[in-house]
Amino acid sequence: MGLLDSILGRTKPKQANLDALFQVPSAAITLQAALGLVPTGDGSVCYRAAAGPAFADAQSGVLELLDAATDAPQVRVSTDGFGFTWLEVDHPPYDPQEGDLGGLCTDLHAVNTTLEGAGFGPALLCSLVPFADSSGRGVGLVYLYKQGTFYPFAPAAGGGQRREELLEIQVRDLLRTELPVEDDPARRLAIWGAPGLT
């Protein structure tokens, strides 16, 4: 940022650090040990799809990239009630003893970097890795693309738009030393109906 930008009060937006997604496997071990939460094996990337052939080509390129792997995951594309697109990457259920989140994190990273490389970085909203415990209680670890930070989102069981705020606080405090955590409550979006958190 230059002197003129400082005088005029302009700031540069924080750059996404997509490599932070590779810190999720370590955070998953902490969540499993402390709270009994294990990854479901699935994940997703949320973005606002743009009109036109350039975006359609970029999205097709992402799908082809994921399908080219020898152990290709199942991939689905859906649109939520707010008009955001969710590209879901479904791996086999996570094995708490021998599981490895590396493949899922690599896939989520590839989706983000491919869209970013095609010039659609501003359309990216977040990436989501859902976790659940043996009772079915769930929480999503959400990576905010534009902030480069994570926050937990835990919808309450039984439907409705209520959050398990105590669980969110526990997860946030547990992971503070392992991940860049989002502290601004205004940025911790409620992602109702997100894939893997219903």
Residue closest to 46 by CA, chosen among 131, 127, 146? 127
Span 132-178, pLDDT tens digits: 998 888 999 999 999 999 999 999 987 778 999 999 999 999 999 99
Query: Element (H or E) spanning 190, and its range?
Result: none
Residue closest to 75 by CA, chosen among 119, 51, 100, 111? 111
The pLDDT confidence band at residue 81, using thresholds 50, 70 and 90, is: confident
Going from N- to C-terminal start, the domains of the chain cover 27-187
For residue 56, pLDDT over 60 is answered with: yes
Q: What is the pTM of this model?
A: 0.87
Judge contact between 87 and 62, C-beta under 8 A. yes
